[in-house]
Amino acid sequence: MKLLDTDPKLNSDLLDGMIKGCEKSRILFTALDLGLFDLLDESMTVEDISSNIKTDIKLTGKFLNTLVAMQFLNKDDGKYSNTGLASTFLVKSSPFYQAQILRLSGNMSHDWSILGSALKGDVPEENEKKIEDVFDPNFIHAMAQGSMRGSLHRTVNEVSALPEFNNAKKLLDLGGGHGLYSIAFAQKNPGLNATVFDLPHVTRVTKEYIERYDMNGRVNVTGGDLLENEIGDGYDIIFASDVLYRKPDALSGVFNKLYGALNNDGSVMLKHWILNEDRTAPPTSVLFDLMLSLRGDWHHIYTKNEYITLLQDAGFSNIHTLDISSQTSPSVIIIGNKGA
């Protein structure tokens, strides 16, 4: 057989892109470590940049050219400056700064390194994390940054268009973490008071964001465990974002608790990543499901119909969904009403 008599008929770009992802992330993290994007709000020569960040000038030039190729920097007449992408997401003063959540994702490489042994039932003890141990301040700040990629804006815009939201006076943000959803909801509806319910050590971080956005008195915090503690009552809306990923047996009583905490004609609104019924798509949710399994056996990523069944079993009716998904955030809001 001659060498050129066969042709693969397929393109290998997908494979190459996966492998190159590691290289690109290391380059990006190095630029963040050096404070490069904060430095380049104004255009600078390679000589000035090298002098500022104290690096070898020849290698720095190649490094900067690579960042141009990756679309993080512009190069014009020998001077470098941030692209719109870098200015929006990689400069500390931007409200959309993403470095903390990018680092969180990058640090998950250790979790993935044990995949082979985990498949054979050998998970290192240090990887068996309780869900409570995951929610340290760095994680909460990273989740706040992640919400500012657009999911918060899409969620609040969709919810604020609902009649039940505009009539609401009291909202519970269950497992609300940073509290940005409650803050945005309260800003949209001047007559609304919101309470963020989360683990006691998490609510200390919540208070930082409430102070930052000057929402004291409109947004309050309550510390507790949603599985063990009472969550209050008299709510018009109970909102939960990316918190109900526990296994079905752990959540068996939670939906009844939500139903009981609502006023008649109140609504529960669940914003979560979901899987299709075959549990094979969308890719982001499938990867998330597998990654969480490497941290212990406490989680479950639900399908839309699984959430609907849990709501129906608790007594909710008129269940409907709002699709707020993007390419990287496969989120759906599932709404259930209390009462006829």
Residue 297 confidence (pLDDT)? 79
| CATH code where residue 43 lies | 1.10.10.10
Q: Is 6 inside a domain boundary?
A: no
Residue 167 sits in the same domain as residue 272:
yes
Residue 40 sits in the same domain as residue 179:
no
Residue 91 sits in the same domain as residue 132:
no
Is the pLDDT score of 204 beyond 90? Answer: yes
Which of 66-75, 131-140, 209-218, 273-282 bottoms out in mean pLDDT, i.e. has the lowest? 131-140
In the 3-class helix/strand/coil scheme, how is the chain assigned residue by residue? CCHHHCCCCCCCHHHHHHHHHHHHHHHHHHHHHCCHHHHCCCCEEHHHHHHHHCCCHHHHHHHHHHHHHCCCEEEECCEEEECHHHHHHCCCCCCCCCHHHHHHHHCCHHHHHCHHHHHCCCCCHHHCCCHHHHCCHHHHHHHHHHHCCCHHHHHHHHHHCCHHHHCCCEEEEECCCCCHHHHHHHHHCCCCEEEEEECHHHHHHHHHHHHHCCCCCCEEEEECCCCCCCCCCCEEEEEEECCCCECCCCCCCHHHHHHHHEEEEEEEEEEEECECCCCCCCHHHHHHHHHHHCCCCCECCCEHHHHHHHHHHHCCEEEEEEECCCCCCCEEEEEEECCC
Domain count, the chain: 2
Mean pLDDT of the chain: 92
The answer to whether 132 touches 199, Cβ cutoff 8 Å, is yes
Residue 161 confidence (pLDDT)? 96
Residue 137 sits in the same domain as residue 258:
yes
Closest CA to 82 of 25, 33, 144, 32: 32
Residue 128 confidence (pLDDT)? 58
Q: In the structure, what pLDDT confidence band is assigned to residue 310 with cuts at 50, 70 and 90?
A: very high
Residue 246 sits in the same domain as residue 322:
yes
Q: In the structure, what pLDDT confidence band is assigned to residue 298 with cuts at 50, 70 and 90?
A: confident
Q: Is 112 inside a domain boundary?
A: no
Residue 196 sits in the same domain as residue 279:
yes
Residue 261 sits in the same domain as residue 325:
yes
Closest CA to 329 of 274, 270, 247, 292: 274
Interior angle at CA 218, CA 246 and CA 338, nearest 5 = 50
Q: Is 1 inside a domain boundary?
A: no
Tell me the average pLDDT across 36-43. Answer: 95
Q: Is 41 inside a domain boundary?
A: yes
**Residue 154 contacts by C-beta under 8 Å, 6 or more apart in sequence?**
324, 326, 331
Residue 191 sits in the same domain as residue 66:
no
Q: In the structure, what pLDDT confidence band is assigned to residue 1 with cuts at 50, 70 and 90?
A: low
Residue 59 sits in the same domain as residue 166:
no
Reading the block at residue 23, the tokens are 């290289």
Distance in angstroms (rounded) separating the CA atoms of residues 15 and 262: 50
| CATH code where residue 162 lies | 3.40.50.150
Q: Is 113 inside a domain boundary?
A: no
269, β-bridge pairs: 239, 335
Q: In the structure, what pLDDT confidence band is assigned to residue 340 with cuts at 50, 70 and 90?
A: low
Tens-place pLDDT, residues 223-267: 999 999 999 999 999 999 999 999 988 887 999 999 999 999 999
Q: What is the span of the domain harbouring residue 324?
A: 126-337
Tell me the average pLDDT across 37-53. Answer: 96
Residue 19 confidence (pLDDT)? 81
Residue whose token pair is 């998330």: 288
Q: Is 121 inside a domain boundary?
A: no
Tell me the average pLDDT across 154-173. Answer: 96
Q: Is 110 inside a domain boundary?
A: no
Is the pLDDT score of 5 beyond 80? Answer: no
Residue 18 confidence (pLDDT)? 83
Reading the block at residue 38, the tokens are 């904060």
Domain termination site, one of 45, 77, 95: 95
Tell me the average pLDDT across 30-38. Answer: 97
Residue 179 sits in the same domain as residue 327:
yes
Tell me the average pLDDT across 274-282. Answer: 96
Residue 44 sits in the same domain as residue 151:
no
Which of 183-187, 328-332, 333-337 bottoms out in mean pLDDT, i.e. has the lowest? 328-332
Higher pLDDT: 157 or 3? It is 157
Residue 82 sits in the same domain as residue 231:
no
Q: What are the contacts of 217-221 at 24+ separation with CB within 8 A?
A: 218/186, 218/192, 218/193, 218/194, 219/179, 219/182, 219/183, 219/186, 219/193, 219/194, 219/195, 220/193, 220/194, 220/195, 220/196, 221/179, 221/195, 221/196, 221/197
Higher pLDDT: 183 or 115? It is 183
What's the distance, Cα to Cα, between the start and end of the chain in Å?
A: 74
Q: Is 219 inside a domain boundary?
A: yes
Higher pLDDT: 328 or 201? It is 201
Tens-place pLDDT, residues 81-133: 999 999 999 999 999 999 999 998 888 777 788 888 888 888 766 655 555 56
